[in-house]
Structure 1
Amino acid sequence: MSSESAASYAAVLRAPLASRTFSAALVGRLSYGIVFLSLVLAFTQATGSYTMAGGAIALFGLASSLLSPLRAQLVDRYGIRRVLPPMAIAYALLLALVAVLTWRPGTPSAPLWSLAGITGAFTPPLGPIMRTLWSDLLSDRTLLHRAYSLDTVAEELLYVTGPLIAGSLTGLAHPSLGVLISAVLMIVGSLALAASPAADPAFSGRLRQGEVPPTSTPCSDKPTKSRWSLFAGIADVRRLVLVTVGVGMCLGSLSLFMVAFAERHAQLAAVAWVEAALAAGSAVGGLTYGAVPWRLKLESRLPLLATGLALSLAAAGFAPNIGVLSVLVGIAGLFLAPALTTAYMLADEAAATGAKTQASAWVNTAFNTGSAAGSAYAGLLIERLALAACFAVGALPPLLGALAGMRKSRNAAEPSQGATSPEVATETASRSD
């Protein structure tokens, strides 16, 4: 990355309160990177059943993902400082209870299933909260674009390093230790984030106008009034999430396709290199995307990025060996972080004031639910189709979403400020996280 690009990201972090707030959010978000593998290993060791562990993780993931917009709406309505600390404390205490119950084998499955679902229901929406704070801290749209790119890349890297930490803790001690450390990270990060003056909407609003120095005492947290509705203030996001669902389905299916490819080439261990290529490509693509000034509107960029991801995935199915597959998957990764960054930017612009956290949460929900669906149908495809055909079918969801987005963006009138999300759905379409 050029020195000019590096300087652009340095400018983001030099903004008042940016480094302090972002660091706190990253500490808490590292918990998410560690917790999933730690829970899988802890549940498996405690019950001796992969089926039980898989069911518990499914309940945890579904509750965490599907309820994310509702938790985000609580944050938008009552403020970060009133909602985040009790939510994080409840989540951490539940994780600690999971760690205690799974430390020794023999715990009955039913309590663990119930506890997994309840714990997931309290997962704090740290990613959506941080993206809302970025839009408060940075009034310059160019810097905000870079901040979103940096945020997306950092989040993906946490999901790469988190499982490595979880595996190390399992080898050194016990998988439940990873669950416990996840709880500690969530408490520390969430409380530090809530303590930042940026978490006070009155303070951050004045900061954007340059009226309050970073050392000022924060004002009292004021609730944001909004109508109780899953799409209150974010109607345009219902169209945006369809493209994001397609991107999630593509990535969810790709994970299984890579494993199947490596297994058929008798190089199962090499799948780690393919995963690394995907992560590296996404990081490079995200950082480059954030540093480049774009003339093309956001609503036009998203379908183009989704198309690039889809075509790269389809091409990967024709790879003759694991090395070529790694290169092609790395190319696909170049489009991943930029596509998610663009989706978050569009959600921010489409949302009314007081609904930005919820809008960002819907993008997360769309991606996560799409990823789960992609994993589900990928297994069925692998059993019935040639692998090259599997990759091609896996590329269809983001491609269809991109085609719809391109058609709508050509027909749309000039978007007004604060309402520039792509029109990517028909009247009968549905969504999910």
Structure 2
Amino acid sequence: MLRPYREVLARPGALAFSSAGVLARLPMSMVGIAIVLAVPEVYGSYGLAGQITAVYVIVHSIAAPLLAHLVDRHGQARVMMPALRVAGLGIVGIILAIATAAHPGWVFAGAVVAGASIGSVGALVRARWSYILRDPAAIHTAYSLESALDEFVFIVGPVVATVLATSVAPTAGLWLPAAAVLLGGWMLLSQRATEPPVVRREAGASGGSSLRSGGMVVLTLVFAAVGSIFGATDVSTVAFADELGSKKAAGTVLAVFALGSMLSGLGYGLRHWQSPLWRRFAIGVVALACGVSLFFVVSSLPVLAAVMFVTGFTIAPTIVNGNGLVTSFVRPDQLTTGLAWVGTALGVGVSIGSAAAGAAVDQQGAHGGFLVVAASAAVAVVATFVALPTLRAGHAPAGRGAGPADYATVVPNSDPSA
């Protein structure tokens, strides 16, 4: 049953870089919640915690595509090895500032440093898969695996951060992310055999931003709307559980949401789908929107968890298909940048959805937050249908864009100039 996964993981170096990527991605699910858990304990303000987290997310959203662009030009190890060391120092700075009850400005400074340098590890790992695999079916399986691992990180990370922060020390939830980004980053980036080589454009080849592609623009907009769904769902679920007197259960309900997505991601990668990628992406967005629109009619946490579990099955396939479309809309020398852009759009959307739902909850309670979820879903559907002609026209039937040999010179990783 799991043969497709065994086959892709059997490729030389695949298991090593994929597992290292899981460790290096832990901060993406732990830093935010760890700050929210630690700051109120020391500074007595959830508002301050939210501001620091927002700064971290915004800075990361701006910096990640820029770092990815540098990776495409100079190589993963050359750019991200020093960047991840700086990110680790930034997280350590947050820990020290909170532990010593320093002026909040120092916590903000650590958040800026970490957010600006941590980049998008998921984009690095997916770029490696696209480099070592040539068969579109195998790439589909690998991308499905990575989406399932993303969900695994989001199931485990917040739980571990919460346990550490409440059982060991307020800042303990940040200890593991600091170690993970340093150790996991080193384990991933030291594997040079699977690192995509730098692709140099030859004279006369077209340049410009990856967002010059109409397909990338619409994908970015749709991913932002989908991210808004996720951000609004998180806030609304916590508010809903709080209204029912079971605030602690919110984490379990959200974990069930991620569990459904993880299982669907694993199942989705087992099959080689024949229908066009753009069509599967559109169907996934519509299915996700329909599922989350039911949240605001539920009346109990068990029912919400059940609806979330089923709806979660639409998440990973949609993300997999969206990432797959990126390979059709950008050149090989812009792949890491393209993947980082859609990931950044998702993160920006989460921030927007969280803020909008928070305001709605203050005014109307959890019901208002779930209405924001439904509104975000409507925006995602409308954006997808408006974008269908662009997605259909720009998608390469073979599932991959032109190879490097079509327009560029490949520079080996061992080249000092890479």
* Fold similarity call, TM over 0.5: yes
CA gap of 1:277–1:98, structure 2 versus 1, over 3 A, is closer
CA distance in 2, matches of 1:50, 1:269: 17
CA distance in 2, matches of 1:334, 1:346: 20
Q: Is the 8 A contact 1:78 1:224 kept in 2?
A: no
Cα deviation, residue 49, structure 1:
2.4
Partner residue in 2 for 1:217: none
Q: What secondary structure, in the 3-state scheme, does the structure 2 residue paired with 1:236 have?
A: helix
- The match for 2:159 among 146, 164, 173 is 164
Q: Is the 8 A contact 1:300 1:405 kept in 2?
A: no
- % identity of equivalent residues: 27
Amino acid at match of 1:140: D
**1:273-422, aligned counterparts within 5 Å?**
273-382=252-361, 383-384=363-364, 387=368, 389-406=371-388, 408=390, 412=393, 415=396, 418=400
CA gap of 1:183–1:343, structure 2 versus 1, over 3 A, is same
1:75 aligns with 2:57: no
Cα deviation, residue 157, structure 1:
1.1
Write the deviation string for residues 352-395 of structure 1: whole angstroms up to 9, x where unpaired.
02111000001101111111111121233342585575553242
1:124 aligns with 2:108: no
Cα deviation, residue 286, structure 1:
1.1
Cα deviation, residue 401, structure 1:
2.1
Give the length in aligned residue pairs: 395
Write the deviation string for residues 282-341 of structure 1: whole angstroms up to 9, x where unpaired.
112111111122121111111110000001111232224322222211121111111111
CA gap of 1:223–1:45, structure 2 versus 1, over 3 A, is farther
Partner residue in 1 for 2:131: 136
Write the deviation string for residues 104-163 of structure 1: whole angstroms up to 9, x where unpaired.
33x112222233222211113211110100101111111110110110110121122112
Write the deviation string for residues 207-266 of structure 1: whole angstroms up to 9, x where unpaired.
xxxxxxxxxxxxxxx575698854377553112111111211111112223233334444
CA gap of 1:223–1:308, structure 2 versus 1, over 3 A, is closer
CA RMSD, 1 decimal: 2.5
Cα deviation, residue 419, structure 1:
5.3
1:40 aligns with 2:36: yes
Amino acid at match of 2:230: L
1:100 aligns with 2:96: yes
1:61 aligns with 2:57: yes
Amino acid at match of 2:139: L
**More off after superposition, 224-233 vs 249-258:** 224-233
Partner residue in 2 for 1:219: none
Amino acid at match of 1:376: A
Q: Is the 8 A contact 1:259 1:268 kept in 2?
A: yes
Write the deviation string for residues 381-425 of structure 1: whole angstroms up to 9, x where unpaired.
342585575553242122212322445557x488465459xxxxx
Cα deviation, residue 268, structure 1:
3.3
**More off after superposition, 39-48 vs 279-288:** 39-48
Q: Is the 8 A contact 1:351 1:359 kept in 2?
A: yes
CA distance in 1, matches of 2:298, 2:258: 19
CA gap of 1:117–1:330, structure 2 versus 1, over 3 A, is same
Q: What secondary structure, in the 3-state scheme, does the structure 2 residue paired with 1:354 have?
A: helix
Amino acid at match of 1:395: A
* TM-score normalised over the length of structure 2: 0.87
Q: What secondary structure, in the 3-state scheme, does the structure 1 residue paired with 2:210 have?
A: coil
Unaligned residue ranges in structure 2 (runs of 5+): 403-418
Write the deviation string for residues 150-183 of structure 1: whole angstroms up to 9, x where unpaired.
1011012112211222122223422323323322
Partner residue in 2 for 1:256: 235
Amino acid at match of 1:399: V
* TM-score normalised over the length of structure 1: 0.84
